[in-house]
Copies of this chain bind each other. A is one copy, B any other.
Amino acid sequence: METQQPTPLSAGRLEIRPQEHAALVDGRPLSLTMRELQLLVTLASHPQRIMTREELFASVWGSQPRRDDRSVDVYVSRLRAKLGEALPELRLIHTHNGIGYRFSPDG
């Protein structure tokens, strides 16, 4: 069984409410697309854990990525851009070369 998250995920000034399709910074919702939000939820559901592209893709897209698929990278980039606007001082998503990405609630 996968770790079941309580409805709201919290990470400093960032709060994520999957049920409400919302990611809030200081109470203000970010304008995330479905994919971006799904990706953020997946990452934030496993704080400090390095997640592979395959894991992330499976969770967000519901299937196996094809060889050399860069969708995860592209959406991480888009997500970072929007998170960076709202929280310029924090880098919540970390790259792990050759493996995947990791969400760190405290930057």
Contacts and interface: CB of A to CB of B under 8 A. Distances in A.
A43 interface: no
A99 B48 CA distance: 30
This chain: copies in complex: 2
Interface in A33-53: 33-34, 48-50
A29 B99 CA distance: 13
Interface residues of A, number: 20
A77 interface: no
Given A22-B50, A28-B48, A33 B97 contact: yes
Given A29-B102, A102-B29, A20 B96 contact: no
The 9 closest A-B pairs by CB, nearest first: A21-B99, A34-B98, A22-B50, A21-B50, A20-B50, A29-B50, A27-B48, A29-B48, A29-B102
